[in-house]
A and B are shown apart, each in its own frame.
Chain A
Amino acid sequence: MAAIETTSAAKPEAAARPNWLKRDLLGLAVILAVAAIGYFLFPNNLALLTRILGVALLVLSIDLVTGFCGVATLGHAALFGAGAYASGIAAVHFGITDPLLMVVVGAIGGAVAGIVSGAVILRGHGLAQLVLSIAVVHLFHEAANKASVYTGGSDGLSGISPDPIFGIFAFDLWGRTAYGFAVALVVIAFIVLRLITRSPFGMLCRGIKEDPIRIRAMGASVQGTLLKMYVISGAVAGTGGALNAISTQVVGLDSLSFTLSAEALVMLVLGGTGSLYGALIGTVSFMWFEDFVSAANPFHWLTIVGALLIAVVLFAPRGLYGTALTLADRFRGNGK
């Protein structure tokens, strides 16, 4: 018994706490630096950069349900498109043209779509879940197509003209305001999601991904928790959709498509799941690479993108960010 008493006097590891805070602040600084570099390096391409940031919000929202909760989905563009249409319809049909209000409307639209699609998708598991998610995005797509009075159908919803932000910063032809707005939204979303994933609720989600039976044995509701995450995820995706509607001033059916859902999932896998950083890295590299290769080689770009993806999945299965972390760890381990 004496042995038990002595070992229990061990020290608490106080160093564990400031560590993640420091790392998150560093991450934030890197995001802002990259955003600034993008602005100065590609002043004529701000529209593309803004589009990348909108999709980044979609990919972040997929990371919430797939990376943190283990839910497989190929239908997440339903939430993105719902946000885009909600804010677009609010602007065109209801005169809500304040960009901040449009974002709020988009987030709510995405959250509502999150409840609806979550309620359907979470009934299945594994392959059934995947099939349900595909069915959901097709239904959303079809609904938007049929409700052409509001959505413009296959012609798309045009005529969105957002007011200046705070009544001061008007959306300009070069897309500078839109880009600044997009960076601000992504940074805010990133900070909020960082907090959420570290919260008690975030821990519960990680637990569900690793062992739902254990979570039930702790007295927590698996379905309720996942649905809540779907709503949060929907709000993030909806924000991305609203950003897209505001910056391009049109909403098309492609924002609600299976193709976008699948591509966004590919971006997440490319970057690495479950870290939020991976989602950002995956989106930026995929969309930048796609743009670059399609311009450089218009005939074979799809082949090249496909080959790159196969290479990443085979040689870096944890994604770009996960692999970079592993390499950094190994490097540090050798350095000691």
Chain B
Amino acid sequence: MSPVFQVQNLNKAFGGLAVTQDVSITMNPGDRVALIGPNGAGKTTFVNLVTGHLDPDSGKVLLGGNDVTSLGPTPRVRQGLVRSFQVTRLFPDMTPEEHLALAVMQRTGRTGAIFGHYQAKADVMAEVAELLRTLGLDHIATRKVAEIAYGQQRLLEIALALALKPKVLLLDEPAAGVPQSDTPRIEAALAGLPSDLAVLMIEHDMDLVFRFARRVIVLAAGAIIFDGSPQDVTRDARVREAYLGSYANDRSAA
């Protein structure tokens, strides 16, 4: 199987602070990867670099074998690389329905149309309804985003990424800010994703990580210190030292 997503020797420093150090990751279709690491390890920066929201100092990003390092965020999304944001980025004056309709129409090349209304497009409305149902947002579909709870905004953030039908999906702490009672919705949405989609999820909730991931990458101070199976990550001495600490001990004791 040829990799859909390759990051090669990526480096980035802010001032004197090296935030990304020689990071290389290869992902194949169907991969379910968790990227973990302590606060400030450089996880979000990694996502910003590979999606084109930040320029790396050196290194390469390849999508389906094509070098996209010199491209901006827009063409990368069009080639199937989609992200969600750790801090929700939504349009306060628009409704969840409008957000998702816009994403679906953008994906299908229809946002250039200066006439017509999304509610008149049956296929768009059907897809939007499906996404809203999956994430349990249908009862607030026509409320302005500024008026809905933060947890619901987080769910919409994920729905928005799914609406773009990515080939590679990067989720930056999708469960952060979502009430515990709603995390099953996120997991159900993730479980329902196409099996050939490659997903990389940044997450602090280790229970979620262990249920979701078949591979775990640990980032500490901008460098990869572990890349392997979830079974091995808790036993790795460097990981314990850098990050997991008491949690790993709790888990192996249990």
Contact = CB atoms under 8 A, between A and B. Distances in A.
Q: Is the A/B pair a real complex? A: yes
A209 B51 CA distance: 22
Contacts of A198: 117
B94 A210 contact: yes
Given A200-B113, A214-B90, A4 B184 contact: yes
Nearest to A203: B102
Contacts of B74: 216, 219-222
Contacts of A219: 74, 77-78, 82, 106-107, 164
Interface string A2-18: 00100110101100110
Interface in A119-140: none
A207 interface: yes
Contacts of B160: 218
Interface residues of B, number: 45
A218 B102 contact: yes
Given A4-B136, A7-B139, A211 B106 contact: no
A209 to B, nearest CB: 9
A214 B91 contact: yes
Given A216-B74, A220-B74, A210 B106 contact: no
B136 A7 contact: yes
Report the interface size class on chain A.
Answer: 20 to 34
Interface in A34-93: none
Contacts of A195: 114-115
Contacts of B89: 211, 213-214, 217
Interface in B101-150: 101-103, 105-107, 110-119, 129, 133, 136, 138-139, 141-142
B73 interface: yes
Contact of A207 (B91, B113, B116, B185): B91
B236 interface: no
Contact of A232 (B73, B94, B114): B114
B32 interface: no
A195 B93 CA distance: 19
A13 B144 CA distance: 14
A201 B102 contact: no
A173 B152 CA distance: 63
Contacts of B98: 203
A17 B118 CA distance: 11
A16 B82 CA distance: 31
11 contacts: A10-B138, A13-B141, A200-B111, A200-B118, A203-B94, A203-B98, A211-B90, A216-B53, A217-B51, A219-B82, A220-B111
Interface of A: 1, 4, 7-8, 10, 12-13, 16-17, 195-196, 198-204, 206-207, 210-211, 213-214, 216-222, 225, 228, 232
